[in-house]
């Protein structure tokens, strides 16, 4: 079997085109322009690139965006003041604090200051709690993108055995919760899992989100599985995932490339979450 490619770039483009239409309709009917605020503190190169991409994506679909680029020496109190101001700003429906933040700043305190209804990253404990309860719709963007990619195969998720590798609060855990909501049987593997290959061999759906290149090898994958690679590691200036693509594409039914798989979907879901937050007001 040669796996079909789950083209996240193409799919994200379609989602953005649809959103652009919906944004125009929202403006025509209610005069509302969805707005996203992006806050970047420090000079992390990757974060600068991500923030630029997010701003461009907003502009490309007619979404308002406002960005704050702060030095790595910014005081936590200043960051909290900016968030308070954005929480009150009627033009802003979503607030994104680009992570990682400088070491002197407590990420939790800052993320938790965002009003849950403007928390389009889905990181706030209220939104995490809602996700755990199978309620609400502001879930983290990468997991939402992963679910969309799996659904786009046309293969029913309900009743399938899904194995998620990684238990981060941003990707692994919420992906597990969303798969459970879709009635998959979910196993979450992590660094203390004794025999990863044994777990993967049972999986109809594999989602890997740890950042260890070459972790998922062909011999570990069940014939016909869907394999989603959400690993992001930069090696020799190139973005590489967790999956050995050359080996796994011969066994899986569907596979995401890196880059061009999960990454573009994350931005599309960020825009969709911001649109949803605007609709609620
Ligand atoms: N840094 C890396 N990924 C993310 C993300 O999804 N959201 C935010 N805010 N920062 C990130």
Q: Is residue 10 annotated as a catalytic residue, yes or no?
A: no
pLDDT digits (tens, 9 = 90+) for 52-101: 999 999 999 999 999 999 999 999 999 999 999 999 999 999 999 999 99
ipTM at complex level: 0.94
Q: Is residue 121 annotated as a catalytic residue, yes or no?
A: yes
pLDDT digits (tens, 9 = 90+) for 138-156: 999 999 999 999 999 999 9
Which CATH architecture does the domain made up of 31-116 adopt? 3-Layer(aba) Sandwich (3.40)
d(CA 148, CA 207): 13
Binding site feature residues: 166-168, 232
- Closest atom, ligand 1, to C-alpha of 100: 1
HSE (side-chain half, CA atoms, 13 Å) at 56: 7
pLDDT of residue 267: 97
Tell the residue nearest (CA) to atom 3 of ligand 1: 99
pLDDT digits (tens, 9 = 90+) for 240-275: 999 999 999 999 999 999 999 999 999 999 999 999
Pairing of strands 64-70, 238-240: unpaired
- Closest atom, ligand 1, to C-alpha of 170: 6
- CATH 3.40.50.10860, the chain: domain bounds: 31-116
pLDDT of residue 1: 77
Instruction: For ligand 1, pick from 121, 232, 263 the residue to mutate: most ligand atoms within 8 Å of CB.
Output: 121
Tell the residue nearest (CA) to atom 9 of ligand 1: 98
User: Which superfamily does CATH assign the domain made up of 140-263 to?
Assistant: NAD(P)-binding Rossmann-like Domain (3.40.50.720)
pLDDT digits (tens, 9 = 90+) for 97-115: 999 999 999 999 999 999 9
Ligand 1 binding pocket (C-beta < 6 A) is 96-99, 121, 141-142, 170
pLDDT digits (tens, 9 = 90+) for 184-200: 999 999 999 999 999 99
At 281, the pLDDT band (50, 70, 90 cuts) reads confident
- Closest atom, ligand 1, to C-alpha of 141: 6
Which entry of 16, 119, 121, 204 is annotated as an active-site residue? Answer: 121
pLDDT digits (tens, 9 = 90+) for 8-46: 999 999 999 999 999 999 999 999 999 999 999 999 988
In the chain, the percentage of residues whose pLDDT exceeds 70 is: 100
- CATH 3.40.50.720, the chain: domain bounds: 140-263
Q: Is residue 90 annotated as a catalytic residue, yes or no?
A: no
Q: Is the pLDDT of residue 123 over 80?
A: yes
């Amino acid at each position: 079997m040669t796996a079909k490619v789950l083209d996240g770039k193409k799919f994200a483009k379609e989602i953005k085109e649809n959103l652009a239409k919906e944004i125009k309709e929202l403006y025509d009917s209610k005069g509302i322009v969805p707005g996203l605020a992006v806050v970047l503190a420090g000079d992390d190169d990757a974060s600068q690139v991500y923030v630029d991409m997010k701003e461009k994506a907003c502009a490309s679909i007619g979404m308002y965006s406002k960005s704050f680029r702060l030095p790595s020496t910014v005081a936590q109190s200043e960051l909290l003041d900016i968030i308070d101001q954005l929480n009150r700003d009627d033009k802003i429906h979503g607030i994104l604090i680009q992570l990682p933040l400088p070491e002197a700043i407590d990420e939790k305190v800052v993320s938790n200051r965002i009003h849950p209804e403007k928390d389009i990253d889905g990181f706030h404990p209220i939104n995490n709690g809602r996700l755990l309860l199978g309620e609400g719709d502001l879930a983290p963007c990468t997991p939402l993108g992963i679910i969309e990619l799996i659904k786009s195969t046309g293969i029913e998720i309900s009743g399938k055995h899904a194995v998620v590798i990684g238990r981060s609060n941003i990707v692994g855990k919420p992906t597990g919760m969303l798969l459970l909501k879709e009635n998959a049987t979910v196993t979450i593997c992590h660094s203390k899992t004794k025999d990863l290959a044994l777990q993967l061999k049972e999986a109809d759906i594999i989602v890997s989100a740890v950042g260890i290149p070459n972790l998922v090898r062909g011999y570990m994958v069940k014939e016909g599985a869907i394999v989603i690679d959400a690993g992001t590691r930069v090696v020799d200036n190139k973005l590489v995932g967790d999956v050995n693509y050359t080996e796994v594409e011969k066994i899986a039914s569907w596979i995401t490339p890196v880059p061009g798989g999960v990454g573009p979907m994350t931005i599309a879901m960020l825009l969709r979450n911001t649109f949803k937050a605007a609709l609620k007001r």
